Structure 1
Amino acid sequence: APRAPSLRSPSTVRHQLRDAEKALAKAQRLHDRLSAEVADAAADHEALARLGRSLGDAADELRAAEDRWLELSEELDAAEANRRAERAT
């Protein structure tokens, strides 16, 4: 006869419930904060413009950092390949 699936203990479920409540409260606080920021910025076109410029600047910095990382990664790969080739000779 097939076995019935085991159930989690009440203490396990309580622990998971407390964790879920904490996660819910954290998500609600984040939602409330972001809603307030959007409401504040929506009423202030200058703030929206500043936020847009800041976001654009941040995106530019991110692209530059990614490009630099790729360059260094390729340089490292080439240096390691060169080192292996030198050892092989």
Structure 2
Amino acid sequence: MSFLRSGRHGEAVSGTAPQQHRNNTLHVLVKPTGRMAAYEEQLLKQLETHPNATLTGHFRILEEATGLTIWFETVDRDFTRHGVT
């Protein structure tokens, strides 16, 4: 995530992010990378090996396989993004 450090009219803005937020001068630009996270490949492989697993089940299988802990809501978002319902 990058922070645009300029004011409303292009003037330079100083201060920390919380100060800029309070002053309404902090603007966050989110740039999607278009790349899959490494764990997403694992999730898609899990669909083939565990087609009847619940979202919570996939989250737990992923945690066992990779040591990565994510929420089942994240699993749901990732599956939805790849057209899995």
TM-score range, shorter chain: under 0.3
Question: TM-score, normalised on structure 1?
Answer: 0.21
Between structures 1 and 2, the one with greater strand share:
2
Between structures 1 and 2, the one with greater helix share:
1
Higher-Rg structure is: 1
